[in-house]
Structure 1
């Protein structure tokens, strides 16, 4: 099946890296659901991308919002074939592991981990029934146990480590179903989170997530962590 018959849902699609992922997926012929907390922000992005992009109001921290958004998408298009869990936040840049308050930890986990989990629970069973799916969890090398060398950004690091574990669990659970689940590290990218000093533009940062989101049928790449299309250690 050509990409043009596929529908992708990208969370955090209304700015920065998420917008570029949406743009590149649309360029490859997918119908793209640009998901954002405010529909108006998603609509603005869609106007810039063109008719292949469709706005979707979705707050990953709300189970009710996730359920309603997925119902809307499935009611309109029938399937969601690609899920890019891109929505994320980092609000603990100045903290260490011994300085972190519990509220910051909970807030970070609810978006970066639980939000992605909510979307997977809502979307992936339909992928498995259809025999095709691509799930990309946008993560960071900050979450790699093998590469971890600092206690800075503790909530962010822990959330991405946990997201990496979820990636592995889902990949194992879905083995043989046609659903591939991988994690992508976009690198330090200029965006609302990465800031203007980051060395990589959104176009570069989006490349690996888009590559994993469009792996061809017959490709068995699953359960991996990738940066610049190359494996990273967990």
Structure 2
């Protein structure tokens, strides 16, 4: 039995992955954004589930979340699932991008730095990462005209590059990135062609399987098949520049 922590796991792909892993007999730690969402998760949970809370758009709450996870004990795997596409409720484009950057890029980096290192790390990317174009010149969108789709694509490029960098830096940890496809979630919409169960299978499999192909670090996966990501993902210079920027933005160094 493995112990797996999944961010953003009270609904959508994260919840589907949690349910799949619990059904297989694994222990799952669910992440809820707020105490009210945590209460809902506790009411709906099956056996083998712990719930931790923290809003990933908040640095303080993300730091607290890492402490909560570490207090439970060592994780065998962490699935960095949480992500957002656009935030119209935030009002201004500056606030919207700050939230996308915080949740999709900074939070996975911070949690990776601060959660006791597991045996496996899985990062939810997207096929849209290829539209990120590798620009790190204005990572926080202070100079460019706002483009939510581009910001999302860049954030998914970031997490794929983080996974590849960690595969290089941490050889004892199996690090992978996953494109789950366009899935019928609240973010993906009901017109999406991929159902939740199909969308969660690859990351759940990577988190716990003993199959040899899944234990080769550094892969970018879709439908349990390794694929070739955008060239920036495996570019060491790009990886190092990105990690340096994330260090500067958060004040937290990668161990």
- When the two structures are superposed, what TM-score results if normalisation uses the length of structure 2? 0.75
Q: Which moved more, 1:63-72 or 1:191-200?
A: 63-72
1:210 paired to 2:210 = no
Partner of 2:179: 185
Partner of 1:134: 120
Name the CA shift for 1:39/1:30 in 2 (closer, same or farther; >3 Å): farther
Judge conservation of contact 2:129–2:157 (CA < 8 Å) in 1.
yes
Partner of 1:42: 38
* 3-state SS in 1 of match to 2:109: helix
CA distance in 1 between partners of 2:99 and 2:63 (Å): 20
Gaps of 5+ in 1: 94-100
Name the CA shift for 1:117/1:196 in 2 (closer, same or farther; >3 Å): same
1:195 paired to 2:189 = yes
Partner of 1:24: 20
How far is the alpha carbon of 1:63 from its aligned partner?
2.9
Partner of 1:56: 52
How far is the alpha carbon of 1:147 from its aligned partner?
10
Q: What is the CA deviation profile of residues 10-64 of structure 1, one whole-angstrom value per residue up to 9, with x for unaligned ones?
A: 1111111111011111122221111011133234234434121111112222232
CA distance in 1 between partners of 2:56 and 2:216 (Å): 26
How far is the alpha carbon of 1:102 from its aligned partner?
4.8
Judge conservation of contact 1:137–1:183 (CA < 8 Å) in 2.
yes
Partner of 2:70: 74
Q: Which one of 194, 208, 223 corresponds to residue 218 of structure 2? A: 223
Q: What is the CA deviation profile of residues 97-152 of structure 1, one whole-angstrom value per residue up to 9, with x for unaligned ones?
A: xxxx55443321211111111111112xx33xxxx51111011010036999xx98
How far is the alpha carbon of 1:173 from its aligned partner?
0.8
Pick the structure with more helix per residue.
2
Judge conservation of contact 1:8–1:84 (CA < 8 Å) in 2.
yes
Judge conservation of contact 1:32–1:53 (CA < 8 Å) in 2.
yes
Gaps of 5+ in 2: 135-146, 230-255
Q: Which one of 166, 169, 176 corresponds to residue 165 of structure 2? A: 169
Aligned residues: 213
CA distance in 2 between partners of 1:48 and 1:114 (Å): 29
CA distance in 2 between partners of 1:73 and 1:163 (Å): 20
**1:143-158 aligned within 5 A:** 143-144=129-130, 153-158=149-154
Partner of 2:141: none
Q: Which one of 54, 79, 85 corresponds to residue 84 of structure 1? A: 79
Q: CA RMSD in A?
A: 2.6
* 3-state SS in 2 of match to 1:153: helix
Partner of 2:3: 7
Name the CA shift for 1:154/1:145 in 2 (closer, same or farther; >3 Å): closer
- Following TM superposition, the consecutive aligned residue runs of length 4 or more in structure 1 with deviations greater than 4 angstroms are 145-148
